[in-house]
Amino acid sequence: MRQLTFSGEEILETINMVRTEQLDIRTVTVGISLLDCVSDSCDRLCRNVYAKVERTARDLRRVSAEISQEFGLPIINNRIAVTPISLIAGRSDRQDLLRIAATLDRAAHAVNVDFIGGFSAQVEKGMTAADASLLAAIPEALAATRRVCASVNVGSTRAGLNMDAIAEMGRIIKRTGELTGAESSIGCAKLVVFCNAVEDNPFMAGAFHGPSEAECAVNVGVSGPGVVLRAIKAAGDVDFGTLASIVRRTAFKITRAGELVGRTAAARLGLPFGIVDLSLAPTPAEGDSVARILEEIGLDSVGAHGSTAALALLNDAVKKGGAMASSHVGGLSGAFIPLSEDAGMIEAAEKGFVTIDKLEAMTAVCSVGLDMIAVPGDTPAETIAAIIADEAAIGMINKKTTAVRLIPAVGKGIGDWVDFGGLLGRAPVIPVNRRSSGRLIARGGRIPSPLQALIN
Amino acid sequence: MPKKPPKKTALPCAPQMGGRAIITIIGSDRVGIIAGIAGVLAEANVNILDISQSVIREFFTMIMMVDLAGSAISFHELSGRLAGKGAELAVRVEIQREEIFKAMHRV
């Protein structure tokens, strides 16, 4: 009886996706609730946090390595997302929060993961005392730790934009950049400002385990720009319907692989499976680039007119294919266009073909936002705050997640480079508009939630 | 209150032990490839369920479906031994659980 149920073509297709097209599982992220770690003593709180993270994630690396070998599919990152720390901080002051950050760093080190996300606060409507302490601690926490990632949600469609928090984030990003100036301001690469943040995002630096989540969850982020690129290249000059169909089918296969890895990891860790995040996440490796896909769709360079339309098509087709492939899709689920982490983007930015304004427009149709963009070190805090406000406004009005991860590179100007190494990549410093936004940011208060919020 | 048993799920997930795997051997044809790989499998008590060979995209390709249920060694160990034998025979040998192909190519 014939047992082989796959054709040689199918088997080789999978093998080639991994070998030559950089298909991989970008991250297996274990979300851990820390709500039960609360204590009136900071010492006990830190002990509880360390013990829970260590206990829950101690097998993560081993299980990931096993699964990666058994499926022949690389798993690039293992990460941890925890409850936003402001929710468990209680009466902790800034010093206490620095200790909690150091504890998270140690716990991540103990279980051998490169990033732990959740040094976070949600302040879209207003700030509690704990939120304010956390924000005040961010620059030093990011400078003093290697693995801790911070995120702050400053707006939502339901609550509007907290402009006071946005102004504060402009200053915090500047300060973080200064404190880590000796290392290309790398602290800023670990800090995301969100509008409409999602609670089950597995991707760093913006991952946290939201308060609506269960005790623990295993969330998976897939990759695969290289696979999509190869598929549409092979198809040649087909029309858009055909193009969308090719992307959809490819996304389906990638997502199924992600779901299998997620479920298997969850079962072996004894934790519930959460979601697959469909995002097409690029890396600095040549061929693993979202920009190259847009160029293959028909642009001389990413940033040319038509980039937004091409990205809209790509993003939508990835979602349609992915949504059919998984029972639980979540996280950010869209194409990422981080500048420093995408070879095509880096090249276009270096040549001046893609500007911050075009990138902003593109973020209206994809996840997630102005990501990993190096700007001159002397950019004023008000300008950074205004960039955040623009991006958050796009998210608020369009009921989508947007984010800002800017790196004001200390001591560097337009054309200089910042280099973070590894997956964070390298990027040229690109110009921002030099006209002041100071009066807008100085107004203070909240931008009211839009009519879109009144849906009941 | 008695604890409810967990609900069965039909959604894909690979077992820790046992199951089936696909071995792919890619390279140029020569005497002793099947014998060499089959020797490693026999030693590990892994049963070969099916073998096919063909030229796909200019590569000489041999594909085996094997049953890991009786395997005397871990997947990790088996994978290492196969890779070692492959290096000896100057071919590339990969072993992957069947579930990955099911997930990607079967709805």
Identify which of B16, B56, B100 has the shortest CB distance to residue A72.
B100
Cβ proximity of A303 and A353 under 8 Å: yes
Q: In b/e form, how buried is each residue of B43-63, taking b as 16+ CB within 10 angstroms?
A: ebebebeebeeeebeeebbbb
C-alpha separations of A173 from A150, A152, A383, A385 in Å: 11, 11, 11, 9
Which residues, including other chains, have CB under 8 Å from residue A395's CB and lie 6 or more apart? A155, A157, A194, A195, A196, A369, A401, A402
Average pLDDT over residues B33-56: 91
Identify which of A5, A260, A268 has the shortest CB distance to residue B16.
A268
| The pLDDT of residue A379 | 97
Which residues form the domain of B29?
20-105
Structural domain contains residue B8: no
Identify which of A6, A71, A266 has the shortest CB distance to residue B97.
A71
Q: Do B49 and A3 touch (CB under 8 A)?
A: yes
List phi, psi (to 5°) of A405. -135, 90
- Which residues 22-61 in chain B show a CB within 8 A of chain A? 22, 24, 49-50, 52, 54, 56-57, 59, 61
Which residues, including other chains, have CB under 8 Å from residue A372's CB and lie 6 or more apart? A189, A338, A339, A340, A341, A405, A407, A424, A425, A427
Is A15 part of the contact surface with chain B (CB cutoff 8 Å)?
Answer: yes
- Residue with structure tokens 């270096």? A350
- Rounded to the nearest 5 degrees, what angle is found at the Cα of A130, between the Cα atoms of A128 and A133? 115
Q: In this model, does residue B4 exceed pLDDT 60?
A: no
CATH no. for residue B95? 3.30.70.260
Structural domain contains residue B12: no
Structural domain contains residue B7: no
Instruction: Split chain A (456 residues) into runs of 10 and give each run's mean pLDDT.
Output: 75 86 91 97 97 97 95 94 97 96 98 97 97 98 97 98 98 97 94 96 95 96 90 94 95 93 95 93 86 96 97 95 91 88 94 96 90 96 98 96 96 93 89 97 97 92
- Which residues 308-367 in chain A show a CB within 8 A of chain B? 327
Structural domain contains residue B5: no
Structural domain contains residue B57: yes
Structural domain contains residue B11: no
- Rounded to the nearest 5 degrees, what angle is found at the Cα of A422, between the Cα atoms of A421 and A423? 120
Residue A199 and residue B76: Cα distance in Å, rounded? Answer: 35
Average pLDDT over residues B66-93: 93
| The pLDDT of residue A431 | 96
Average pLDDT taken over every residue of chain B: 85
Cβ proximity of A343 and A354 under 8 Å: no
Is A248 part of the contact surface with chain B (CB cutoff 8 Å)?
Answer: no
Burial class (CB in 10 A: 0-12, 13-18, 19+), A224: buried
Which residues, including other chains, have CB under 8 Å from residue A233's CB and lie 6 or more apart? A296
Residue A66 and residue A72: Cα distance in Å, rounded? Answer: 10
Identify which of A10, A67, A263 has the shortest CB distance to residue B105.
A10
Residue A341 and residue B28: Cα distance in Å, rounded? Answer: 38
Q: Do B50 and A2 touch (CB under 8 A)?
A: yes
Identify which of B21, B61, B106 has the shortest CB distance to residue A8.
B61
Q: Do A12 and B104 touch (CB under 8 A)?
A: no
Is A272 part of the contact surface with chain B (CB cutoff 8 Å)?
Answer: no
Q: Do A14 and B104 touch (CB under 8 A)?
A: yes
Q: How many domains does chain B have?
A: 1
- The bridge status of strand A426-428 relative to strand A417-419 is antiparallel
First to last CA, chain A: 60
Structural domain contains residue B51: yes
| The pLDDT of residue A131 | 97
Q: In what order do the strands lie in the sheet with B59-67?
A: B47-56, B59-67, B20-27, B92-97
Q: What radius of gyration, in Å, describes the C-alpha atoms of chain A?
A: 21
Chain B residues touching residue A20 (CB < 8 angstroms): none
Enclosing H/E stretch for A426: strand A426-428
List phi, psi (to 5°) of A455. -110, 5
Q: Do A259 and B63 touch (CB under 8 A)?
A: no
Q: In b/e form, how buried is each residue of A426-454, taking b as 16+ CB within 10 angstroms?
A: bbbbbebeeeebeeebeeeebbebbeeee
**What ipTM does this complex have?**
0.85
Structural domain contains residue B6: no
Is A270 part of the contact surface with chain B (CB cutoff 8 Å)?
Answer: no
